[in-house]
């Protein structure tokens, strides 16, 4: 079981893409794993034959536990798969069963002898057909859940994702013209029926929300936070975005204001590396030489943080394309484990929700996180006159063990310089995508 986030302690096997006896090549997708943050596909680290499945579908296993074995021998007869072993079953919480899990978690039918010596019968054909049909339809877990909530038969949906995979937008498109079943909350479920007339209702947190609760509590309790805010005039940055879209057309279609801010943050971290760091030990601060930005993405049951690698080195338009891939992939739960590891600094943008300014909790063990508010026209003084300008507040939360207020202020000052002179974001080429 791979570790796919700093806070991850266990994972749940949602489905196996290979069966015992199958030949696998290095890089083949073996299974889909549910973590406390996201569902990801894990790949084979070596070639050979899948000789044993240790953790069956629907079971939990701690990080580092063996969930399957691959050997280098030729494929032969398929031994029976073990539905469970070291892993534990997920405890019942009173919440409804997951609708995005595979239709069946039982091992393939076999003819293992019964106690009386006769061969055990195959699974009933109806059960096999029902489970097999559900498993053959390629759909993201989020799409499966949305389809179940809206009463949509996945066989009616044409997938537009990679390889014809059904993703969230396909369900939403069909739902717009189909009657929807009453929506159920995706994040929580009643722990038990509240008595009539009760003044409150207890709800069971999703595994993701439980993980977020643990992570933010630990961060706020163990990392000494302080906060610094600066305002940036965004007039030139907005003009640059318009000019790039006009000049490059479809090549710049993915470019957003957030991409300009992300690029500025990456360059500022390269120039002011104090915040691109972690508190490694009581006498050591580790400064990273590469800038990998964690981008906070809201999903129905919490937050996930895909990682934009080498953000300072990516040309602006290529950065925009990669950021869009990560954000859409995170929302549709189709990213792989490498997309969630190795962030050195994080960015959270609530501007699209009409938030003017806020402070974010550091995503430990990183040393800082940037909180972005909305751009709003405000009166400012320029050359002795009051004029309206598009202004934006940037607030950085910083680990006080790593740097002081001056270091945080220098980082924001560099971001302000870059965004108010946005030609500096282009580097040697504006469209080297």
Tokens of residue 199, six digits:
């003044």
Burial 31-41 (b: 16+ CB within 10 A, else e): bbbbbbbbbbb
Q: What are the beta bridge partners of residue 29?
A: 43
Q: What are the beta bridge partners of residue 225?
A: 399
Q: What is the pLDDT of residue 43?
A: 84
Return the percentage of the chain with pLDDT > 90, whole number.
Answer: 49
Reported CATH class of domain 209-425: alpha beta
Give the pLDDT band of residue 148 (cuts 50, 70, 90): confident
Helices 257-271, 235-248: axis angle to 10 degrees equals: 110
- Length of the chain, please? 433
pLDDT at 154 over 80: yes
* Bridge-based pairing state of the strands 68-71 and 307-308: unpaired
Which of 110-119, 149-158, 239-248 is least confident?
110-119
pTM equals 0.64
pLDDT at 235 over 70: yes
Q: What is the pLDDT of residue 299?
A: 87
pLDDT at 210 over 90: no
Q: What is the pLDDT of residue 169?
A: 76
Q: Which of 165-174, 179-188, 283-292, 330-339 has the highest mean pLDDT?
A: 283-292
pLDDT at 91 over 70: no
Q: What is the pLDDT of residue 260?
A: 97
> What average pLDDT score do residues 321-344 get?
89
Give the pLDDT band of residue 98 (cuts 50, 70, 90): very low
- State yes or no: is 292 an active-site residue: no
User: Among 220, 292, 400, 421, which one carries the catalytic annotation?
Assistant: 400
Q: What is the pLDDT of residue 6?
A: 64
How does pLDDT run across 156-206, given as a tens digit for each residue? 788 776 567 787 777 877 776 644 334 344 444 445 555 667 888 998 888
Residue 204 neighbours by CB under 8 Å, 6+ apart: 93, 94, 95, 188, 189, 190, 191
Residue 114 neighbours by CB under 8 Å, 6+ apart: 120
Residue 327 CA: distances (Å) to CA of 175, 252, 296, 334 = 22, 17, 9, 10
Instruction: Note the CATH architecture for domain 1-91.
Output: Beta Barrel (2.40)
Q: What is the pLDDT of residue 102?
A: 38
Q: Which of 11-15, 175-179, 320-324, 328-332 has the highest mean pLDDT?
A: 320-324
Q: In the chain, which residues fall in CATH 4.10.320.10?
A: 111-183
> What average pLDDT score do residues 243-262 get?
93
CATH superfamily of this structure's domain 111-183 = E3-binding domain (4.10.320.10)
CB 172 within 8 A of CB 143: no
Q: What is the chain's mean pLDDT, rounded?
A: 80
| Sign of the C-alpha dihedral computed for residues 141, 211, 323 and 17 taken in this order | negative
How does pLDDT run across 40-88, given as a tens digit for each residue? 788 888 899 999 999 998 889 998 899 999 997 444 444 444 444 445 5
Give the pLDDT band of residue 26 (cuts 50, 70, 90): confident
Q: What is the pLDDT of residue 335?
A: 82
Q: In the chain, which residues fall in CATH 2.40.50.100?
A: 1-91
How does pLDDT run across 340-393, given as a tens digit for each residue? 889 999 999 999 999 999 999 999 999 999 999 999 999 999 999 999 999 999
Name which of 95, 93, 86 is nearest 60 in CA terms. Answer: 86
Burial 245-277 (b: 16+ CB within 10 A, else e): eeeeeebbebbebbbbbbbbbbbbbbebbbbbb
Which of 39-48, 74-83, 269-278, 317-326 is least confident?
74-83
Which of 81-85, 100-104, 413-417 is least confident?
100-104
């Amino acid at each position: 079981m791979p570790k796919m986030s700093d806070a991850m302690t266990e994972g749940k096997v949602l489905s196996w893409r290979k069966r015992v006896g199958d030949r696998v090549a290095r890089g083949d997708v073996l299974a889909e794993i549910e973590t406390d943050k996201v569902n990801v596909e894990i790949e084979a680290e070596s070639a050979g034959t899948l000789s044993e499945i240790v953790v069956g579908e629907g079971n939990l296993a701690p990080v580092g536990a063996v969930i399957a074995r691959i050997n280098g021998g030729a494929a032969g007869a398929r031994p029976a798969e073990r539905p469970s072993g070291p892993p534990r079953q997920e405890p019942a919480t009173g919440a409804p069963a997951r609708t995005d899990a595979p239709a069946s978690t039982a091992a393939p039918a076999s003819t293992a002898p019964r106690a009386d010596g006769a061969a055990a019968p195959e699974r009933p054909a109806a059960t096999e057909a029902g489970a097999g049909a559900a498993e053959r339809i390629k759909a993201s877990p989020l799409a499966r859940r949305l389809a179940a909530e809206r009463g949509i038969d996945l066989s009616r949906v044409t997938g537009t994702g990679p390889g014809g995979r059904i993703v969230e937008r396909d369900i939403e498109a069909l739902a717009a013209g189909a009657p929807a079943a009453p929506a159920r909350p995706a994040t929580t479920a009643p722990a038990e029926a509240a008595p009539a007339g009760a003044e409150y209702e207890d709800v069971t947190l999703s595994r993701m929300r439980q993980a977020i609760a643990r992570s933010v509590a630990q961060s706020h309790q163990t990392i000494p936070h302080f906060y610094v805010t600066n305002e940036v005039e965004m007039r030139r940055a907005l003009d640059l975005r318009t000019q790039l879209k006009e000049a490059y057309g479809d090549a710049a279609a993915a470019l957003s204001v957030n991409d300009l801010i992300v690029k500025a943050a990456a360059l500022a971290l390269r120039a002011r590396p104090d915040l691109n760091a972690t508190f490694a030990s009581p006498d050591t601060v580790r400064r990273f030489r590469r800038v990998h930005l964690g981008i906070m993405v809201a999903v129905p049951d919490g937050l996930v943080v895909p990682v934009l690698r080498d953000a300072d080195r990516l040309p602006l338009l290529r950065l925009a394309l990669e950021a869009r891939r990560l954000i859409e992939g995170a929302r549709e739960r189709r990213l792989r484990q490498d997309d969630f590891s190795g962030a050195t600094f994080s960015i959270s943008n609530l501007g699209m929700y009409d938030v003017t300014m806020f402070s974010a909790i550091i995503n430990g063990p990183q040393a800082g996180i940037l909180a972005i508010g909305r751009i709003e026209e405000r009166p400012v003084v320029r050359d002795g006159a009051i004029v309206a300008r598009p202004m934006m507040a940037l607030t950085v939360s910083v680990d006080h063990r790593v740097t002081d207020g001056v270091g945080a202020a220098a980082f924001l000052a560099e971001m302000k310089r870059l965004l108010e002179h946005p030609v500096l974001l282009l580097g040697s080429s504006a469209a080297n995508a």
